[in-house]
Amino acid sequence: MKYYVMTLFPEMIEEGMNTSIMGKAMDQGLIELEALNIRDFTLDKHNKVDDYPYGGGAGMVMEAEPVYRCYEEICSRIGKRPRVIYLTPQGQVFSQEKAKDLSQEEELVFLCGHYEGIDERVLEEIVTDYMSIGDYVLTGGELPAMVMMDAIARLVPGVLNNDQSAETESFSDGLLEYPQYTRPVSILGRQVPEVLMSGHHQNIEQWRQAQSEARTRERRPDLYEKWLNNKNLQNKR
Ligand code: ADE
């Protein structure tokens, strides 16, 4: 997977992405990341990237030209026109399902806006996916881009150490994950549930499934409802 990020703050992306599992995946060449500074693509001698909005109003709007030239540079380098994800609260809300879909691509371009947004005409020209990471407003698209890149990268084969963990964690089957315990057996006056130390794999499986269901029903009744409906549908087939 190769990520391209079009941004006014490339160092924020580079610094945010080169630690932990993401950093290791990049060292191993499983994930590649290039942050391009939109400011490097201005034709203006002062490297100006924004201007006042037509029609008036507060704030500045990012100009179409440097964004377009930045995307064209990526396209001419790789000889194709990859999907472009524009991070905006006006997009579809990002989800595990969307992460799975996007993880199938060979390249992804993330476009990060700032100020009051980007000239609509370049969005119409290049954007294929409008994505939000939730119903709140951030100061720019960099954090949402990093959130998405992290969620997508862990679905790329080899990025996690065992293939299983990408699939068994929360959401992959529509339920939240069961609770986990490690040594010691007793701490803070609380014990590890007996069943986990029994060595009885079938009982452990059953206990974990029941915990997942109870936890989802309690903490995320919306997800639980969806999971129940799905299960009932499958039983009818
Ligand atoms: N830009 C600003 N807020 C955002 C959000 N919630 N999701 C994606 N991009 C954004």
Instruction: Tell me, in angstroms, the distance from the centre of ligand 1 to residue 26's CA.
Output: 25
Burial of 152 (0-12, 13-18, 19+ CB in 10 A): buried
**Does the pLDDT at position 183 exceed 90?**
yes
- What is residue 227's DSSP assignment? H
Q: Give, using CA atoms, the residue closest to atom 7 of ligand 1.
A: 132
pTM of the model: 0.94
114 vs 202, residue with greater confidence: 202
In 3-state terms, what secondary structure has residue 118?
strand
**Does the pLDDT at position 173 exceed 90?**
no
Ligand 1: residue of 111, 129, 138 to mutate (most ligand atoms within 8 A of CB) is: 138
Instruction: Tell me, in angstroms, the distance from the centre of ligand 1 to residue 143's CA.
Output: 8
What ligand 1 atom has the least distance to the C-alpha of 88?
9
**Model pLDDT, residue 158:** 94
State the helix-helix crossing angle for 10-17 and 142-153, rounded to 10 degrees. Answer: 30
Task: Kindly report, residue by residue over 146-165, the tens digit of the pLDDT.
Answer: 999 999 999 999 999 875 57
